[in-house]
Each structure stands twice: as C-alpha cells, then as structure tokens.
Amino acid sequence: MKLETSRLDRFISQNTDYSIADTRLLIAQKRILLDGRVAHSIQQKVTKFTRVVLDGNCLKDLSPVYLMLNKPRGVVSATKDPKHTTVLDLIQHPQKDELHIVGRLDFNTTGLVLLTNDGAWSRRISLPETKLAKTYEVTLSKPLNDEYIAAFREGIHFAYENITTRPAQLEILSENSARLSLIEGKYHQVKRMFGFFQNEVLSLHRVSVGPISLEGLEVGQSRPLTPNELAATESHGPC
C-alpha cells in the first residue's frame, strides 16, 4: 500500500479478490481479524502496522522497528552507497531494508543515529516544535569564550537563507571543546554556527536525542530502543 492508513474495505479490495461490497459480508461472518480482534466496521482504519488476517491467512503483518546506532567516522548516513560503508551495513536486523534514517550525520561526524520504519514517528520527533534537543560534543580549532554562549542563546543569523537559528544551549567544557544542545537540524548547522566566529569544527559527536542517549553503546554497534525510551519521546509533543 502506498498510503500509511486505509479504510478496511479498501484494503481488502486492494489486497484480495474480494470487492469493497464483499467486505460487509466478511465482517458479518467474523472472518476478518485486526490485531487479533474481530473486525466490526468497513470504516475501521488499517495502518502501516495493523495486522490483518482473513480466514486465517495473514494479509499484512509489519512490526514497527526503532533502532539506535553509534555511528563511526567515515560511514555514510544513507541506506545505499556504491563506494562507502553505510549505516545499514552496520546493522543486523531482519527488517533493516525497510528502515530509514532519522536525522543524518555527516561522513566524519560520529555518534547517535536513529533508524525506523515508522514514518509518523520519525517526522514527529524531527519537528523543532517537538522540542527534542539534539546534544553534541564539539572540538574547535580556536578557544571559546562567553560570547559564544550569548550568541547561540540568541540565535545565529544565516545570511544566505536569511534565517536565524532557534535558541541553543552551549556549555564550554574546556578551552577548545563544548557541549551544544539544539532543537533543529538545518544543513551543516553546527559547523555554520561556529563558522559565524570563524572557528573551525575539528570533530563533532552526537551524544543524545532527547531522552535517547548513546551511553553504554560501543562504536559501530546498534540496539533497539527500549519501551521507556520510546515512551519518553511520546511525552514530548508539539506545543
């Protein structure tokens, strides 16, 4: 199906030899199960992850997948690449070919990458309005000072697009390193924000997205998100 949501009668007509009109009889005869329950209306919604069974035969059974990966340097944030190792090449999962990347990292940027087959979830957590902070550890070529903190808090103006970044939180860790948290992800945003001060980013490492942290995950390794991590992303909603 092209759409993520469809009416039950349309789904049946598109995926079986039965017509839309036939679906009423199939429901009356209790021959259709949706997620293990007897269907009761032709207007019931069939989503991407609804399990549909007709006469004991499964028509659709796709499980949502939510993974996190600790991306190494020199790996492409893509599903396919003819020359370089991709994030999918590092993952062993039976549904990995269905996954897409939530918030890409540059070739030499390391750290947390999220992958899923749930488009609604990835779109939601990517919205600035959801206010899920993305936190990075940054190493710079020149020393930092308090001017950076104030400028990042007020927003940096990108003249080319004539836009100003949303307020970001900068914590100076040492003379040439900092921790940066922001809620948006414009093109090369972190590098361009420091570029406002003509300060080159030497290394960039994403440590967390909202409540989801890399802690304990080795470089190049991946794992499913826990129920608690998923629930925590649900608690952040558009304001």
What is the pLDDT, as a whole number, of residue 55? 95
Q: 89-93, 228-232, 233-237 — which is least confidently predicted?
A: 233-237
pLDDT at 171: 98
Query: Per-residue pLDDT for 225 more than 90?
Result: yes
Asked if pLDDT for residue 28 goes beyond 80, the answer is yes
**Structural domains for the chain:** 5-60 (3.10.290.10), 66-234 (3.30.2350.10)
User: 1 pLDDT band (50/70/90 cuts)?
Assistant: very low
Q: CA-based Rg of the chain, rounded to a whole angstrom?
A: 23
Tokens of 202: 């030497």
DSSP H helical ranges for 70-156: 119-126, 146-154
pLDDT in tens, 118-176: 998 999 898 888 889 999 999 999 999 999 999 999 999 998 899 999 999 999 999 99
Report the SS3 class of residue 25.
helix
* Residue 209 C-alpha from the chain's centroid: 9
Query: Of 121-130, 175-184, 216-225, which gets the smallest average pLDDT?
Result: 121-130
Q: Which residues are catalytic?
A: 106
pLDDT at 235 over 50: yes
Per-residue pLDDT, 239: 34
